[in-house]
C-alpha cells in the first residue's frame, strides 16, 4: 500500500510528521514502526484538508465570520459554528482527492477476507483544539461500513475544527485561524475475541520487574469498567515466567453485532469461564508487546490490547492504547491525567447499546 502526500498508511514507511498527520495519526504511524501493532489503517493528511479548503475557496469567508466574535456571546458563536460546519459538509471533495481516499480504503479492505467496519477519527495538531482526548471523544465515528460512510465522516471530522468549543478555545488563547488544519484517521474496528489491559509493573507495590495482565472475553469495556472479573496474571518482565494467576469468573462478554452496528452482551459458557482466556503463547505475546511499549515510551505503561478475530494467528494481537502508568507512580498532588497516545480510548468509546448504526 502506497502512501502519498494526501494519504499515509500506518505501515507505509513514511517518516511521521505531526503537521501532516496530527497527534493521533503521527502516534499510530510511530507505534506501527516500533513494532507495536495498532489496528491497521491510514491517515488522511492535513494536506488533503488544505487542498479541499483551497478548492472550496471558503477560507476567506470563514475568517470573516470568525473575525470580531465575542467568546462570551454563546448564541452568536453557536450560530457561526453551525454555519461554517454546514458549509464544509456540503462542499464536494475534489475528484482527485476523493479517488485517493477510495483507493486507500479499498487497499485496507483487501487485507481481510470480507470488508470490515472502520472507525474514523479526527487527528488535530496539538495547538488547534482544546485537548486531544476531548477531541478524540467528540470526533470518533465507529462501525462505519462502505466508502460513502467513510468519506462522509472524514468531512465531519474536518468540520469539527469549528465546533463552538474549539472556536472559543482559540479566541481565548489568541490562537490565529490562519493555517488551521486537520488530519483524519481511518482505522479498522477491532473485532475483539479476547481483550484486556496490561501494566508493565506490579501496581500493588510499584515493582517494575513484573507485568500484570487482566484478560477477558470480547471487547475490553467490561474489564475497564469492572463489570466482569477478568483473569489476572502476573509475569516476570524479564523471563516472562508466570508468577501468579487467578482465573476470573468472566461471566459475560461484549461482542460486536456488525449487522446491528452495536455491541451486544452475552453470557460466557461454563467451559470458557473455567479456563484462562489467553493461551500461553498469547499471554507471552501480550507481555512482549507491553514490554515494547514501555521501552518505546521509556516509562511504565498501561496498555489496552485485543486479539482480533479478523486477523490470522500471530498477527491478531493489537495494541489499542498505551499511556504512562499513573496509579502507582503519581502522587495525588502532582496527579497528571492519563495521556492517550493511540486512540483516545477505544474502550471508553464502547458500551452496549450506545453505538449508532452507520450511515
d(CA 283, CA 281): 5
CB 330 within 8 A of CB 229: no
Stretch that binds other proteins, among 67-75, 110-118, 145-153, 203-211 (CB under 8 A): 203-211
CB 318 within 8 A of CB 308: yes
List phi, psi (to 5°) of 144. -90, 135
Under rule CB under 8 A, residue 264 binds other proteins: no
Under rule CB under 8 A, residue 236 binds other proteins: yes
Residue number, 259 or 270, with CB nearest to other proteins? 270
CA-angle at 307, arms to 306 and 308, nearest 5°? 105
Among 207, 249, 313, 315, binds other proteins (CB under 8 A): 207
Under rule CB under 8 A, residue 243 binds other proteins: yes
Under rule CB under 8 A, residue 202 binds other proteins: yes
d(CA 357, CA 234): 39
Kindly state the smallest distance separating residue 216's Cβ from other proteins, in Å.
19
Per CB under 8 A, contacts with other proteins among 215-234 are: 234
Kindly state the smallest distance separating residue 275's Cβ from other proteins, in Å.
9
Under rule CB under 8 A, residue 239 binds other proteins: yes
Stretch that binds other proteins, among 27-35, 165-173, 205-213, 217-225 (CB under 8 A): 205-213
Kindly state the smallest distance separating residue 198's Cβ from other proteins, in Å.
17
CB 21 within 8 A of CB 32: no
358 Cα distance to chain centroid: 18
d(CA 266, CA 258): 15
Choose among 13, 27, 60: nearest CA to 136: 27
| Strand 317-324 versus strand 301-308 pairing type | antiparallel
The residue count for binding other proteins (CB under 8 A) is: 16
Q: Which residue has the cell 503463547?
A: 281
Stretch that binds other proteins, among 10-18, 43-51, 240-248, 264-272 (CB under 8 A): 240-248
- Look at the chain and count its residues: 359
Among 244, 279, 329, 354, binds other proteins (CB under 8 A): 244
Under rule CB under 8 A, residue 270 binds other proteins: no
CB 216 within 8 A of CB 146: no
Kindly state the smallest distance separating residue 308's Cβ from other proteins, in Å.
26
Under rule CB under 8 A, residue 99 binds other proteins: no
DSSP H or E stretch at residue 304: strand 301-308
List phi, psi (to 5°) of 304. -110, 140
Under rule CB under 8 A, residue 329 binds other proteins: no
Kindly state the smallest distance separating residue 249's Cβ from other proteins, in Å.
17
Residues 6+ apart with CB under 8 A from 138: 122, 160, 163
The SS3 call for residue 22 is helix
Kindly state the smallest distance separating residue 102's Cβ from other proteins, in Å.
47
Under rule CB under 8 A, residue 193 binds other proteins: no
Kindly state the smallest distance separating residue 235's Cβ from other proteins, in Å.
10
Residue number, 209 or 225, with CB nearest to other proteins? 209
User: Which residue(s) pair with 245 in the sheet?
Assistant: 233
Burial (CB count <10 Å: 0-12, 13-18, 19+), residue 144? buried
Residue number, 205 or 334, with CB nearest to other proteins? 205
Kindly state the smallest distance separating residue 197's Cβ from other proteins, in Å.
20
Binding footprint of other proteins on the chain (CB under 8 A):
202, 205, 207-210, 234, 236-239, 241-244, 280
Amino acid at each position: 500500500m502506497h502512501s502519498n502526500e494526501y494519504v499515509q498508511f500506518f505501515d507505509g514507511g513514511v517518516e511521521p510528521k505531526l503537521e501532516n498527520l496530527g497527534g493521533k495519526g503521527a502516534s499510530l504511524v510511530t507505534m506501527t514502526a516500533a513494532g507495536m501493532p495498532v489496528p491497521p489503517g491510514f491517515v488522511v493528511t492535513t494536506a488533503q484538508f488544505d487542498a479541499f479548503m483551497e478548492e472550496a475557496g471558503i477560507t476567506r469567508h470563514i475568517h470573516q465570520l470568525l473575525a470580531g466574535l465575542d467568546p462570551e456571546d454563546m448564541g452568536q458563536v453557536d450560530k457561526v459554528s453551525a454555519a461554517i460546519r454546514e458549509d464544509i459538509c456540503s462542499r464536494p471533495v475534489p475528484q482527485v482527492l476523493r479517488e485517493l481516499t477510495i483507493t486507500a480504503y479499498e487497499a485496507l479492505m483487501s487485507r481481510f477476507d470480507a470488508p470490515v467496519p472502520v472507525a474514523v477519527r479526527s487527528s488535530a495538531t496539538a495547538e488547534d483544539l482544546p485537548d486531544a482526548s476531548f477531541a478524540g471523544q467528540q470526533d470518533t465515528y465507529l462501525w462505519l461500513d462502505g466508502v460513502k460512510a467513510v468519506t462522509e465522516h472524514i468531512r465531519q471530522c474536518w468540520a469539527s475544527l469549528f465546533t463552538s468549543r474549539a472556536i472559543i478555545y482559540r479566541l481565548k488563547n489568541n490562537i490565529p485561524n490562519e493555517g488551521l488544519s486537520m488530519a483524519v484517521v481511518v482505522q479498522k474496528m477491532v473485532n475483539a475475541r479476547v481483550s484486556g489491559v496490561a501494566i508493565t509493573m506490579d501496581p500493588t507495590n510499584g515493582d517494575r520487574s513484573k507485568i500484570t495482565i487482566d484478560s477477558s472475553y470480547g471487547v475490553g469495556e467490561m474489564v475497564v469498567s469492572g463489570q466482569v472479573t477478568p483473569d489476572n496474571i502476573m509475569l516476570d518482565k524479564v523471563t516472562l515466567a508466570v508468577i501468579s494467576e487467578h482465573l476470573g469468573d468472566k461471566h459475560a462478554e461484549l461482542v460486536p453485532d456488525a449487522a446491528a452496528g452495536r455491541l451486544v452482551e452475552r453470557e460466557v459458557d461454563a467451559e470458557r469461564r473455567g479456563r484462562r482466556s489467553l493461551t500461553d503463547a498469547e499471554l507471552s505475546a501480550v507481555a512482549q508487546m507491553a514490554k515494547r511499549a514501555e521501552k518505546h515510551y521509556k516509562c511504565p505503561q498501561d496498555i489496552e490490547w485485543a486479539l482480533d478475530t479478523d486477523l490470522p494467528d500471530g498477527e491478531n494481537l493489537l495494541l489499542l492504547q498505551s499511556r504512562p502508568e499513573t496509579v502507582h507512580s503519581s502522587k495525588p498532588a502532582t496527579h497528571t491525567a492519563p495521556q492517550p497516545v493511540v486512540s483516545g480510548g477505544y474502550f471508553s468509546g464502547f458500551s452496549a447499546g450506545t453505538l449508532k448504526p452507520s450511515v
